[in-house]
Structure 1
Amino acid sequence: MQFSTFNFHPNLMEGIGASNYEIATPVQQQVIPPILNGRDIIASAQTGTGKTAAFLLPVINQLLEKGSSGQVSVLVIVPTRELAIQIAQHAEGLTYFTDISSLAIYGGNDGQNFTSEKKALQMGADIIICTPGRFIAHLNMGYVSMKGLRFLVLDEADRMLDMGFQDDINRIITALPANRQTLLFSATMPPKIKNLAKNILKDPVEINIAISKPPEKIVQRAYIVFEEQKSGLVKYLLQHTPYKSVLIFCSRKQNVKSLVRNLKQYGFSAEEMHSDLLQSQRENIINGFTSGRITILVATDILSRGIDIDTIDLVINYDVPRDGEDYVHRIGRTARAEADGVAITLVGEKEQNSFNAIEKLIGTTVEKATLPQMLGQGPEYKPARQKNNNGKYRKFYKRR
């Protein structure tokens, strides 16, 4: 399903395009329509299924359609500062072509950040993404008004309760208007989550998204690389891996075009597939790939779903996918119709956290292969140490 199907505001569609979103994930397909219709939501959805965009997109659309109130309109509560930063970055990209303001509030910052947060709250940032304790610290100071709140989002609610935030959440909810739309997301649905939902949701739509698993017959392998090693590694893999048909996924159109240029310089016959092509061009390329005339196709996630070609025996992730659902769909293009297949992912330095999250999501530790000697050594695989705990979200608010 294309995002254009949802009839979002034109300015939001610009942000969607700039964020390289093309095809809605299952959680987005199921969650977005009822949110647009004003319904409360309780959704079982894990990190990595696309749920961040599932609630940000319809909420942002509603703000654009009905206008800003000049007060805090959306409150997103999350368990950790890392998640707050991540969601804030998503919001920044999606609202880039709008006047909607957003702010990430989380503990562990210095006094200057607290002052910036206070100023933005007083001016009425449209979207607040916060950890419970930090927001309560502002709330207790008496200058935060929630009278204009329209949306409350609780993300990873089960984790927040496991971390002991039940009282903090209850404290925050008492400060919110009763007439609001509430969206609750949780990876699991234990009794305490159901009790919380019963107390804060009104006639909710219940949605359960189970992440699919890659077929066991797919041989999964990963290389830990520096970004500049990726192109040379693809060349090596194509020279030393037997294949009939290869599908290479890139997360950005620019990477697709650059890689195809490099492969042609290496002497390979490769074609590209992305949204810049005309429909007639896409059809010709798909026909050539299906018939075997084209053996190497480099594409964005536009081909991660809806293509069923039995002869694809090698999938290469040039970039780590955005989430686990994309990873499963990408590598699922191989090993079809009882055939065997190989899926190789190139994990750059800045992609280690994302790949580690995908491994956890699919419940598999993917084999880390040794780089060919000709490429030199790659970085060490230490995803836990890659977290940017000192990262600052700089787009705190926009002046009105």
Structure 2
Amino acid sequence: MNYIQPSAIQELTIPLILAGKDLLASAQTGTGKTAAYLIPLLDQVIRSQSNQTSALVLVPTRELAKQIDEQIEGFSYFINATSIAIYGGGKGEDWDQQRKALVHGADIIIATPGRLMAHMKSGEVKFDHIKCLVLDEADKMLDMGFSDDILFVLKHLPAKRQNLMFSATMPKKIRDFAHKILNNPEEVRLATSKPAEGIDQQFYLANDEQKIPLLAHLLKSADVQSVIIFSSQRTMIDKIIRALTKLKLEARGISSDVSQQERENILRDFKNKQYKILVATDVLSRGIDINNLSHVINFDVPRDAEDYIHRIGRTARAETTGTAITFINEKDQYRIRNIEKLLEKEVEKQNITESLGLGVAPEFKSGNPKNKFKKPSGSANKNKTKRKFFRPAKKTSGS
């Protein structure tokens, strides 16, 4: 699989996992976190030669579950190890296949919490031999409301086990949750909540009605090999695809409204370069690894600053380079301030709509009142008086 040298997160965490330590680990997207736990887990599988499930990996989305299952298939090509991804809704044709794998035991189970809990409530599934639990993209699972489901699963696992938590970000809620389930964990943190250095971040000011023609201009003028266009609204997916189709630009879409089989087919064809434009909601913002993705475009600003990090982290993976473009309308400007606070820098805002004949773009207001700014550490005012707001900064280039 062309792994020559371990990445930093792999070099630091694999010895700890092999030593049986509980672990709380975070690193930038695209740095090899999945392999960091899969490789030592597979090592344990081939050493134990048990016919029982020994590792359980919980993930937030079905796409990530399937991808990890495929990675296990690649890593275990020359060894005797089995795995299955447990995901989906309702008792469809996959239910019996998943139930049999859970009852009779695959070495590694990768599952979304809700689906796994549904199987466990049937009374047939037992996890008495689990030696290791992995929570991958734990912060996203909490954001999606899976905390109760996770705690339900934990109650049915052996008390004596190894626990591993991996994420690209480490907000306070994750640290608090980690204290509930980890036993004296080792902690590894590498440049969390920061995008990879190889990402060229570009911000463009545009009203909603200017976004489609601006998008078309950028897609035609830039060297776009493959691009994911993110929208926070499912209803916008089809609108964007229809608009691009009229411009003779082939695009496909993925959201939670699309059937599982269709989502898998669309993602497979995109990875195989059958088409180069994929429009998606945040179901694709976590953990999905796509080789040579040249661009990520945020059709709207994500609601949370850390979701921005995850979205743009789909490009410039494994020390490559890529471009991340974000459109900013007037109402989303306060979210940009939150992103810049997380990035610890201001990003230039480009205004090109008028030059393209699309009309005047909204002006970026530096002192948006929805933000609470901290004074810079080098500020001349060093008193510690707490204040709700500070005066708007003077306009600088790009503001």
TM superposition score normalised by structure 1: 0.52
- Give 2:198's aligned residue: 214
Quick one: which of 310, 314, 331 aligns to 1:357? 314
Change (3 A) 1:46 1:171: farther
d(CA) in 2 for partners of 1:45 and 1:209?
Answer: 5
- 8 Å CA contact 1:359, 1:366 repeated in 2: no
Quick one: which of 152, 166, 182 aligns to 2:133? 152
Which AA in structure 2 matches 1:138?
H
- 8 Å CA contact 1:157, 1:185 repeated in 2: yes
Change (3 A) 1:77 1:63: same
Change (3 A) 1:222 1:24: farther
- 8 Å CA contact 1:359, 1:365 repeated in 2: no
* Cα shift at 1:20: 2.1
d(CA) in 2 for partners of 1:90 and 1:151?
Answer: 18
d(CA) in 2 for partners of 1:47 and 1:214?
Answer: 12
SS for the counterpart of 1:365 is strand
Which AA in structure 1 matches 2:16?
P
* Cα shift at 1:323: 6.1
- 8 Å CA contact 1:50, 1:323 repeated in 2: no
- 8 Å CA contact 2:134, 2:165 repeated in 1: yes
SS for the counterpart of 1:148 is coil
- Give 1:393's aligned residue: none
- Give 1:50's aligned residue: 32
- 8 Å CA contact 2:87, 2:111 repeated in 1: yes
Quick one: which of 37, 41, 49 aligns to 1:67? 49
Greater displacement, 193-202 / 162-171: 193-202
1:142 aligns with 2:123: yes
d(CA) in 1 for partners of 2:314 and 2:188?
Answer: 22
- 8 Å CA contact 1:79, 1:131 repeated in 2: yes
Deviations 1:80-109 (A, max 9, x none): 000001101001111122221100000147
* Cα shift at 1:354: 10
- Give 1:203's aligned residue: 184
- Give 1:38's aligned residue: 20
- Give 2:215's aligned residue: none
1:191 aligns with 2:169: no
* Cα shift at 1:345: 5.5
- 8 Å CA contact 2:65, 2:86 repeated in 1: yes
Which AA in structure 2 matches 1:100?
A
- 8 Å CA contact 2:196, 2:316 repeated in 1: no
Change (3 A) 1:39 1:89: same
Root-mean-square deviation over aligned CA pairs: 3.5
- Give 1:22's aligned residue: 4
Change (3 A) 1:216 1:72: closer
* Cα shift at 1:360: 9.8
Change (3 A) 1:360 1:134: same
The 5 Å alignment of 1:91-106 reads 91-106=72-87
* Cα shift at 1:64: 1.1
Which AA in structure 1 matches 2:82?
S
Name segments (4+ residues, structure 1) moved above 4 Å: 344-347, 353-356, 359-364
d(CA) in 2 for partners of 1:199 and 1:122?
Answer: 28
- Give 1:166's aligned residue: 147
SS for the counterpart of 1:223 is coil
SS for the counterpart of 2:324 is coil
Change (3 A) 1:164 1:67: same
SS for the counterpart of 2:41 is helix
- 8 Å CA contact 2:295, 2:315 repeated in 1: no
Which AA in structure 2 matches 1:116?
Q
- Give 1:293's aligned residue: none
* Cα shift at 1:209: 1.7
- Give 1:224's aligned residue: 225
* Cα shift at 1:215: 8.5
d(CA) in 2 for partners of 1:61 and 1:91?
Answer: 12
What fraction of aligned residue pairs are identical, expressed as a percent?
47
* Cα shift at 1:216: 7.0
SS for the counterpart of 2:224 is strand
TM superposition score normalised by structure 2: 0.52
- 8 Å CA contact 2:29, 2:317 repeated in 1: no
Quick one: which of 123, 127, 136 aligns to 2:108? 127
Which AA in structure 1 matches 2:160?
N
* Cα shift at 1:79: 0.3
For structure 1, the residue ranges without an aligned partner over 5 or more in a row are: 1-18, 226-321, 328-343, 348-352, 368-400
- 8 Å CA contact 1:182, 1:200 repeated in 2: yes
- 8 Å CA contact 1:76, 1:128 repeated in 2: yes
SS for the counterpart of 1:125 is coil
SS for the counterpart of 1:358 is coil
SS for the counterpart of 1:153 is strand
SS for the counterpart of 1:79 is coil
d(CA) in 2 for partners of 1:355 and 1:189?
Answer: 17
d(CA) in 1 for partners of 2:150 and 2:125?
Answer: 16
Which gives a bigger RCO, structure 1 or 2 (Cα 8 Å, sep 6+)? 1
